[in-house]
Amino acid sequence: MGYSCRDIGHRIRFLREANNLTRDSLSEMADISTKFLYEIELGKKGFTVEVLFKLAKALNVSCDYILSGNEVKKIPEKMIDVLECFSPGQMGRVQDILRVVQELCAGEDA
């Protein structure tokens, strides 16, 4: 799968503006120069994985979202903490219960 520097740059700029960040503030948060960020946003420059990680962290999105525009659904930490309390043998029953809850919630949306 190929990634377009231009599309990635547009996503970064959109996210920056949506978060009311100036180019100066985002570049400071990501520890890169403002000129480099400008060139990234225009799609003229690529960047390292380290810069990708810093930009994603500063913009509060996944690296995957910056690269592809696909959101990664994250399970809230509190849910993970609860699920980790169950033994492997109990997880099948927990999944069954969650499916019933999902169906009940879906019925409310109808």
CATH code of 35's domain: 1.10.260.40
pLDDT value of position 107: 78
Same-domain pairing of 14 and 61? yes
Question: Using CA atoms, how far apart are residues 39 and 6, in angstroms rounded to an integer?
Answer: 10
Instruction: Provide the domain limits for residue 90.
Output: 77-109
Helices (H), the chain: 5-18, 23-29, 34-41, 49-59, 63-68, 77-83, 88-109
pLDDT value of position 75: 72
Question: Using CA atoms, how far apart are residues 75 and 85, in angstroms rounded to an integer?
Answer: 15
pLDDT value of position 73: 66
pLDDT, averaged per 10 consecutive residues of the chain (110 residues), comes to 85 93 96 97 95 94 90 75 90 91 81
Same-domain pairing of 54 and 81? no
Is the pTM value of this prediction over 0.85?
no
Cβ-proximal residues to 5 (8 Å cutoff; 6+ apart), any chain: 40, 43, 44, 45, 46
Same-domain pairing of 10 and 41? yes
pLDDT value of position 20: 92
pLDDT value of position 3: 80
pLDDT value of position 2: 60
